[in-house]
Amino acid sequence: MAKITLNNVRKTYAGTVETIKGVSLDIADGELLVLVGPSGCGKSTLLRMIAGLESITSGEISIGDRVVNTLEPSERDIAMVFQNYALYPHMTVYQNLAYGLKNRNTPADVIEARIKKAATTLEIEQYLERKPRQLSGGQRQRVAMGRAIVREPSAFLFDEPLSNLDAKLRVQMRVEIKRLQRALATTSVYVTHDQMEAMTLADRLVVLNGGHIEQVGTPIELYEKPATTFVATFIGSPSMNLLDRARGGFDLSGVPEAATIGIRPEDLKVVSDGQVAGYALRADVTVGAVELVGAESYVYGKLSSGQDIAFRVSGRSQIETGAQMTVAAHSHDIHLFDAGGARLAGH
Ligand SMILES: Nc1ncnc2c1ncn2[C@@H]1O[C@H](COP(=O)(O)OP(=O)(O)O)[C@@H](O)[C@H]1O
Ligand SMILES: [Mg+2]
């Protein structure tokens, strides 16, 4: 068990611009921290620097009480789980699980006990004598996790471990990883570009954008109080509507000055003309497209000014393209941002 600390960590790959632009983070002992952000924002680079697979250009990384900047990966007492499982195809599951421990000269009885325990936890006892090719994707993923678990490291690092799995299995494994991490209470850093995976797994989330941290917080904090328009549109689906106040096409009452008005699609209510009293925002929408996703539908339309707006309605609503509707939002559901995209204080 260990906390992990990053202090103003920077990375510039040879011959390129700075990739990680000064990241500071305190990851608590036993915490599951998720690094989320779009492709290319530096998630893998940051994780690989913690693992020791990539050098640190400047700054300091500590695992437990040790500064690990110059330590080899094998000296850092961490285990990494990748998206390509990297199992040895010619070895059985048991041999795959034993391999790393044997290399570290772990006594045979300890190896056996740890594999037994991990196999039970992961429910792969009946596959120990199989080769990886005789396993399904989900089972292989479990073995890959088993290999990390048997080492009993002080931290787990995950780099998009589920992105090769189909949608259903991904949800199952995500629940599984959460359960395992809780049970083992091992400090974990989990990288994903998938905001849904991030929201459901994380104790805390770090939203990374272009090599810097946009915001750190619990999933609900980021959902309710996004610090920037980037976080506001990255977390939540469909994305938060960002309306340019200068372009207009909507009516406001009692809303402070702000360059950009944010409203989540789920916070917009369809109202009839007589019902608009008491709302802080009101807008007429021409419906462009309706997407039925089951229990609900997403409606995409335009304001009179041409600005895009999306909102959610019950899946049973019969809304046609071209329909004219009025939507409204309460003041407590309105997010305000300045021209630079920062959330306005006190709101
Ligand atoms: N070994 C490397 N050499 C040079 N540039 C790299 C190297 N690895 C990654 N990069 C660049 O660093 C940036 C961040 O990459 P990466 O950390 O893989 O992002 P992510 O995991 O968030 O998709 C990208 O622009 C990528 O092209
Ligand atoms: Mg990556």
* 264 and 217 within one domain: no
Kindly report which listed range (46-60, 71-85, 180-194) carries the lowest average pLDDT score. 71-85
Q: How far apart, in Å, do the first and last CA atoms of the chain sit?
A: 38
Distance (angstroms) between ligand 2 centre and the Cα of 144 equals 18
pLDDT, position 86: 80
* 139 and 23 within one domain: yes
User: Would you say 81 and 32 are in contact if contact means Cβ atoms under 8 Å apart?
Assistant: no
Q: Cα separation of 330 and 62, whole Å?
A: 45
Residue 343 within any structural domain of the chain: no
What angle do the packed helices 137-149 and 93-103 form, to 10 degrees? 20
Q: Is 81 exposed, middle or buried (0-12, 13-18, 19+ CB in 10 A)?
A: buried
Residue 325 within any structural domain of the chain: yes
Which pLDDT tens digit goes with each residue over 264-297? Answer: 999 999 998 777 788 999 999 999 999 999 899 9
Distance (angstroms) between ligand 1 centre and the Cα of 39 equals 9
Residue 345 within any structural domain of the chain: no
The protein residues having their C-beta less than 5 angstroms from ligand 2 (an ion) are 44
Distance (angstroms) between ligand 1 centre and the Cα of 208 equals 13
Residue 227 within any structural domain of the chain: yes
Average confidence (pLDDT) over 147-157: 93
Best residue among 10, 12, 45 to mutate for probing ligand 1's pocket (most ligand atoms within 8 Å of CB) is: 45
Of the residues 231, 265, 297, which one is the last residue of a structural domain? Answer: 231
Confidence band (pLDDT; 50, 70, 90) for 346? Answer: low
Which atom of ligand 1 has the smallest separation from the CA of 54? 1
Give the binding-site residues of ligand 1, using a 6 Å CB cut-off.
Answer: 13, 16, 19, 37, 39-45
Distance (angstroms) between ligand 1 centre and the Cα of 171 equals 27
Q: How many domains does the chain have?
A: 2
Which pLDDT tens digit goes with each residue over 123-138? Answer: 899 999 999 999 988 8
Confidence band (pLDDT; 50, 70, 90) for 169? Answer: confident
CATH number of 221's domain? 3.40.50.300
Average confidence (pLDDT) over 173-177: 89
